[in-house]
Amino acid sequence: MVDVNQSIIFSPCIVSPATPLAEAIMLMTQAKGNHCPVMLYEEPEVVSPVKSQPTSCILVVENESLVGILTERDLVKLAVKTTAFEKTTVRDVMTSPVVTLFYGEFSDLFIAYNLMRRHRIRHLPILNDRGYPLGLVTLSSLRQTLNLGYFLRFRQVNEIMTHHVVWAFPNTPIVELAQIMSVHGISCIVLVEDRGGILIPVGIITERDIVQFQAIALDLQKLTAEQVMSTPLFCLKPEDTLATVHQKMEELRIRRLVVTGKQGELLGLVTESNLSQVLDPIEIYGILEILQHRVTQLEAEKAYLLQKQGIELHEAIEKNQFELYYQPQLNLTTQKIIGAEALIRWHSPERGLVSPAEFIPLAENTGLIIPLGQWILESVCQQIIAWEKSGLNPVQISVNVSSKQFHQANLAEEILATLKKYQVKHQWIKLELTESLLVQNIDIALEQFNILKAAGIKIAIDDFGTGYASLGYLQHFPFDTLKIDRCFVQNIHQNAKSAAIATAIIRMAQQLNFEVIAEGVETAAERDFLYQHGCELIQGYLISRPLPVTEFTNLLISG
């Protein structure tokens, strides 16, 4: 934050309201403001204007306090009218009341700047606590002080881009690149292909890409840049404006952009820090101020909504408005349905079918996840028993357990008690947990896990690869199944990065004797790729969407 300093406050030119206008204009054209000899938190002394800096306004004072301001704009307005000049006094044309700022409240330049922007004024009188003008702040003095001669849209990429870019070929081992990055303190490397002597960028590798792989890949040694790099690459031209850079970074959520020439050749790199050097601090501060205000508003709204929706959700549990859907899981080798994931749905009378992605977080925040989780498990148990009674062979049902449910210290006991209550064999239940659980409450989780494991209940780790659970973690936890997250499955056959992650997960699972299942499989190409790389269990729209229980039961009957 920029502090108020003496150079920003000018001593004002002061007249009385009765002053003839002509005299005031004279003063305005001749008088020059000067810097007040003020130090921070000390009232500036008022000195008579001396020649140093042109002033473009006059302050009007009556009975020791400010009553109006006379600016160039007032005078320009006057020029369009045809009043008799000689008879006019300052009082007739001055602007009143005046937007002012008390010296005691002038703690920061942005306060002045924002006041001026909000009220669209160029002059801001600074008053003492008795209302007497001590000085004047002008917009141009502010801008000069903050050194803002430019805006992003008037500046081009070539002014700020880094010309010296470290590049490598895609077949370079990732370990080599990591070394270069750490030795030279570089945060990214551009990957290029040599096409007839011209280096064409094809991808980029950042520190974060490597960290992501370190977290999950078994063998960094075997990976090449090609498998880790981010593609496709969005390239800028040197003559693009910085506004475009800013917009692209926001839109693509990246911090580095490659600059290419006419033939697509590598010219340079623009990074977020290149950009932040030219960002207008005043603009940013203005935006921040608005955002802060909005955040405060939103928080209040959110608290209210949360309370309201929490009540709705509570009623939903009481009124039994939930239903479980079942999404089949297929073994590609045997072509048999080996299980299903239970996925909850809420039929809200007001809102229709509400997605769990929306109300599960709400249930977690309000604590309702505990009774809801209990309802889910009980429903699954009742369903398994119903299948058995009707002579059907049940399949293993995966039940999602929120990490918040682990706040219940006796979760494992509760689960076992529920299974006992319905006399459900433990083999029919599998629990799905996410990586975040392991990172958040490791000790409690481990204890609960061991109880469940000892009772023969299988545990799957959901959304695997999206968090930062590393191999080290996995060895400590007695999991049975790894679920490869949908984001790595999507277009796996075309996306080298997803393919590398997914195959690393599969390899890792095989070595640790975990079962592995891919979720979100939507196309035959994705299925085939996974199968060829050793993953034989899949779940996804390609097999079936989550089904209401009657439809799923029909599927079980028909095999």
Strands 235-236 and 256-260: what pairing? parallel
Q: Specify the residue, 33 or 540, whose C-beta has the smaller distance to ligand C2E.
A: 540
Least Å from the CB of residue 344 to ligand C2E: 4
Measured in Å, how far apart are the chain's first and last C-alpha atoms?
69
Please identify which residue in 230, 260, 271, 400 interacts with Ca ion, judged by CB under 5 A: 400
Q: Give the integer Cα–Cα distance in Å for 520 and 500.
A: 17
The answer to whether 526 and 489 have CB atoms below 8 angstroms apart is: yes
Of 381-389, 392-400, 406-414, 473-481, the window that binds Ca ion (rule: CB under 5 A) is 392-400
Q: Specify the residue, 408 or 466, whose C-beta has the smaller distance to Ca ion.
A: 466
Q: Is 152 exposed, middle or buried (0-12, 13-18, 19+ CB in 10 A)?
A: middle
Which listed residue (432, 515, 519, 526) is catalytic? 519
Q: Specify the residue, 9 or 324, whose C-beta has the smaller distance to ligand C2E.
A: 324
Strands 547-548 and 188-195: what pairing? unpaired
Which helix (H) or strand (E) segment is 559 a member of? none
- Six token digits for residue 192: 């290029």
Q: Does 481 bind ligand C2E (CB under 6 A)?
A: no
Cα 447 to chain centroid distance, Å, stands at 34
The answer to whether 291 and 513 have CB atoms below 8 angstroms apart is: no
Peptide bond into 232 cis (omega under 30): yes
Size of the site for ligand C2E (CB under 6 A): 21
Q: Specify the residue, 112 or 489, whose C-beta has the smaller distance to ligand C2E.
A: 489
Which helix (H) or strand (E) segment is 149 a member of? none
* Binding track, positions 440-469, relative to Ca ion; x by CB under 5 A: ----------------------xx------
Least Å from the CB of residue 454 to Ca ion: 23
Q: Give the integer Cα–Cα distance in Å for 160 and 270.
A: 7
The answer to whether 33 and 65 have CB atoms below 8 angstroms apart is: no
Q: Specify the residue, 230 or 400, whose C-beta has the smaller distance to ligand C2E.
A: 400
Please identify which residue in 301, 303, 541, 548 interacts with ligand C2E, judged by CB under 6 A: 541
Q: Specify the residue, 100 or 327, whose C-beta has the smaller distance to ligand C2E.
A: 327
Give 304's contacts (C-beta < 8 A, 6+ positions apart): none
Q: Specify the residue, 339 or 540, whose C-beta has the smaller distance to ligand C2E.
A: 540
Of 112-120, 359-367, 425-433, 539-547, the window that binds Ca ion (rule: CB under 5 A) is 425-433
Q: Give the integer Cα–Cα distance in Å for 106 and 2.
A: 11
Give 558's contacts (C-beta < 8 A, 6+ positions apart): none
Please identify which residue in 138, 227, 230, 327 interacts with ligand C2E, judged by CB under 6 A: 327
Q: Does 435 bind Ca ion (CB under 5 A)?
A: no
Q: Which of residues 436-465 bind ligand C2E (CB under 6 A)?
A: 462-463
Of 164-172, 352-360, 386-394, 491-499, the window that binds ligand C2E (rule: CB under 6 A) is 352-360
Q: Specify the residue, 126 or 369, whose C-beta has the smaller distance to ligand C2E.
A: 369
Q: Does 240 bind Ca ion (CB under 5 A)?
A: no
Strand positions, DSSP E, 420-556? 429-434, 458-464, 481-484, 515-519, 537-539, 547-548
**DSSP code of residue 402:** -
* Binding track, positions 498-537, relative to ligand C2E; x by CB under 6 A: ---------------------xxxx---------------
Of 5-13, 157-165, 336-344, 529-537, the window that binds ligand C2E (rule: CB under 6 A) is 336-344
Please identify which residue in 355, 427, 532, 554 interacts with ligand C2E, judged by CB under 6 A: 355
Please identify which residue in 79, 87, 357, 513 interacts with ligand C2E, judged by CB under 6 A: 357
Least Å from the CB of residue 476 to Ca ion: 21
DSSP 3-state of 522: coil
Tell me if residue 43 is catalytic.
no
Q: Does 414 bind ligand C2E (CB under 6 A)?
A: no
- Six token digits for residue 336: 């048999």
Least Å from the CB of residue 345 to ligand C2E: 7
DSSP 3-state of 118: helix
Size of the site for Ca ion (CB under 5 A): 4
Q: Give the integer Cα–Cα distance in Å for 16 and 62.
A: 6
Q: Does 432 bind Ca ion (CB under 5 A)?
A: yes
Residue 509: count of CB within 10 angstroms of its CB? 22
Q: How many Cα atoms sit within 13 Å of 402 on the Cβ side?
A: 24
Q: Give the integer Cα–Cα distance in Å for 157 and 170.
A: 26
Residue 33 interacts with which of ligand C2E, Ca ion, none, CB < 5 to 8 Å by class: none
Active site (catalytic) residues? 519
Residues forming the site for ligand C2E (CB under 6 A): 327, 342-344, 355-357, 360, 376, 400, 402, 462-463, 486, 519-522, 540-541, 546
Binding site for Ca ion (CB under 5 A): 400, 432, 462-463
